[in-house]
Amino acid sequence: MRMSGCIDGCLSQDQPTISQSSGNVVDGINLEDIKEFAKAFKLRRLGLGLTQTQVGQALSVTEGPAYSQSAICSALASQMLAAQLSSQQQNIFEKLDITPKSAQKIKPVLERWMKEAEERYASGQNHLTDFIGMEPSKKRKRRTSFTPQALELLNAHFERNTHPSGTEITGLAHQLGYEREVIRIWFCNKRQALKNTVRMMSKGIV
Amino acid sequence: MRMSGCIDGCLSQDQPTISQSSGNVVDGINLEDIKEFAKAFKLRRLGLGLTQTQVGQALSVTEGPAYSQSAICSALASQMLAAQLSSQQQNIFEKLDITPKSAQKIKPVLERWMKEAEERYASGQNHLTDFIGMEPSKKRKRRTSFTPQALELLNAHFERNTHPSGTEITGLAHQLGYEREVIRIWFCNKRQALKNTVRMMSKGIV
DNA sequence: AGCATAAATAATAA
DNA sequence: TTATTATTTATGCT
């Protein structure tokens, strides 16, 4: 399924402002502040050449599933939205089951993460995934969803070669922006699917 | 155990055809035919109002041991793949110790079964219940309605963690007096809703 | 009548 | 094989 990253992107598109009331405060939180933060975050993110998805994935690893890309995006996006809403429309929060507080909580997390990312970048250590300290949590990895483009390329490769070499896998991973292991597993699953066909066909069941 | 169906469904999604060589023939067997058959089978299955799981179970009775929904799904999916393989790569069959001939065996089995199923259906016999050997009174679970208090707690948890662990879910279920599965599903749906929200907001719809 | 969303099904990553 | 995501269905409520 299509899952466009939206850590900050939803915030970038300047939609027609519904109500530009300057003092947009809910629960003692200035929604304009959050809006500004979201914009700044995007600039810094782009400065590092990172995609929203990359940030989301990194956060979900370092901060736990509570900060999935979806959750963060939604929280920030709704803040942006809210910042544009007139005060009487702000009950949209209730409809969305998102409190202004939740977005406020995310802010420091994003700030801390971005700071570290920028430091790593400055010190020349290249990739984001490098400083992801995998917590000793034995939780199952979150299911990744591939883009149609990625799947197209993967399938094309599979068609040519069902057993890509290590180098090929690494190349694909880099090219597509996924972790090497994810790509490797994809080929495993794909081969397995093919094998299942064999088993079942030989029994004449499928 | 989770057992959702996939007898044929995987085949429905029209992936970008990699190799549209019209003459995809091995050993006198047109692989495109198999692909077409899979599509047609799905239509007929849906016409009878049957799930992949039901077909799988029925087949396991007449044809052999049961296969999980997942396995059957991937099996047919890979059949689709085979139909897309370019001719020079079709030695993949050899690597897997399978001949296109064995693939050909699939068709008659399914066709025979489906034909009988449709005849039963046409003659109006018990909605195929005896034929597919399912319990006829498999009613949909009554929709649970959560108390406002329960929703409050659930939302609070969701805000902290959109992916609660099994233990957490069990704890919540016990604490609130709902079935564990109900709580699990609630989180699934909640995550989905969040995703939809994000999608819509990013499109400026909300 | 239509909406919100719980439940069920389908697909597939781990 | 298991667990999660994606999609669809259908029900309780207004």
Residue A160 in any domain: the answer is yes
What pLDDT, on a 0 to 100 scale, did the predictor assign at position B60?
64
A25 forms beta bridges with: A30
A71, A102, A131: which is the final residue of a domain? A131
pLDDT value for A130 = 42
Q: Which residue has the tokens 């067997």?
A: B29
The residue type found at B62 is T
Tell me what the mean pLDDT of segment A166-193 comes to: 89
How distant is the alpha carbon of residue A181 from its chain centre? 18
Domain count, chain B: 2
Cα torsion through B89, B90, B92, B93, rounded to 10: 180
pLDDT over threshold 90, residue B167: no
Residue nearest to nucleotide D7 (CA to C1'): A1
Residue B41 maps to a domain: yes
Of A106, A131, A156, which marks where a domain is finished? A131
| Token digits of residue B52 | 């992949």
Among B82, B102, B132, residue at a domain's last position: B132
Q: What is the mean pLDDT of chain A?
A: 57
The reported pLDDT for the residue numbered A114 is 66
Higher pLDDT, A128 or B53: B53
Contact A147, A175 (CB under 8 A): no
Give me the residues paired with residue A123 across strands. Answer: none
Subunit contact B98:A201, Cβ cutoff 8 A: yes
Distances from the Cα of B136 to the Cαs of B50, B56, B63, B132, in angstroms?
Answer: 12, 16, 22, 10
Is residue A139, in this structure, part of any structural domain at all? no
In a domain, B52, yes or no: yes
Confidence of residue B114 (pLDDT cuts 50, 70, 90): confident
Q: Report helix, strand or coil for B133.
A: coil
Determine contact, residues A65/A139, Cβ cutoff 8 Å. yes
* A17/A108 same-domain check: yes
Contact A152 B16 (CB under 8 A): yes
* Pair A19, A115 in one domain: yes
Lowest mean per-residue pLDDT among A83-87, A190-194, B72-76, B199-203: A83-87
Q: Is B24's CB less than 7 Å from nucleic acid strand C? A: no
Nearest to B107 by CA among B201, B17, B30: B30
Instruction: Identify the pLDDT of residue A170.
Output: 94
Distance from CA(B50) to C1'(C1), angstroms, rounded? 30
**Do A167 and A198 sit in the same domain of this protein?**
yes
pLDDT band for position B73 (50/70/90)? low
Rounded Cα distance between A121 and A49, Å, is 10
Nearest to A139 among B98, B109, B165 (CB): B165
Distance in Å, alpha carbon of A4 to nearest chain B alpha carbon: 8
Contact assessment for residue A68 and residue A60, using Cβ atoms and an 8 Å cutoff: yes
Domain-located, residue B4 = no
B201–A139 CB contact, under 8 Å: no
Residue A143 inside a domain? The answer is no
Please tell me whether residues A97 and A22 are part of one structural domain. Answer: yes
Query: Which residues are registered as beta bridge partners of B26?
Result: B29
Hey, is A30 helix, strand or coil?
Answer: strand
Q: Are A42 and A75 a contacting pair, CB within 8 Å? A: no
CA torsion A182-A183-A188-A194 (nearest 10°) is 130
B162-195 b/e (C-beta count within 10 Å ≥ 16 → b): bbbeeeebeebbeebebeeeebbebbeebbeebb
Does residue B179 surpass a pLDDT of 50?
yes
Q: Are residues A64 and A155 in the same domain?
A: no
B91 C-beta less than 7 Å away from strand C: no
pLDDT level of residue B157 (50, 70, 90 thresholds):
confident
A185 touches strand C (CB under 7 A): yes
Q: Is residue B143 part of a domain?
A: no
Instruction: Note whether B76 and B173 are same-domain residues.
Output: no
Rounded distance between C-alpha atoms, residue B119 and residue B114, angstroms: 9
Q: Based on the domain organization, do B15 and B90 belong to the same domain? A: yes
- Same domain? For A86 and A173 the reply is no
CA dihedral of A115, A118, A124, A126, whole degrees rounded to 10 = 100
Same domain flag for B180 and B82: no
Please indicate, yes or no, whether residues B109 and B187 belong to a single structural domain of this protein. no
CATH label of the domain that carries residue A175:
1.10.10.60
Return d(Cα A147, Cα A150) in angstroms, integer.
5
Domain containing residue A82: CATH number: 1.10.260.40
Does A61 score more than 50 pLDDT?
Answer: no
- As a whole number of angstroms, the distance between CA B56 and CA B52 comes to 6
pLDDT per residue over B28-47, tens digit each?
A: 555 566 666 666 777 777 77
Indicate if A62 and A97 belong to the same structural domain. Answer: yes
Residue B193 CB in 7 A reach of strand C: yes
Please give the Cα distance from B129 to B136 (Å, whole number): 6
Sequence-ordered list of residues with C-beta below 8 angstroms from that of A44, at least 6 positions apart, any chain: A114, A118
Nearest C-alpha in B relative to A95: B197
Q: Residue A152 pLDDT more than 80? A: yes
Q: How many Å from the CA of A95 to C1' of C3?
A: 13
For residues B128 and B153, membership in a common domain is answered with no
Is there a domain that residue B3 lies in?
Answer: no
Structural domain harbouring A180? 148-202
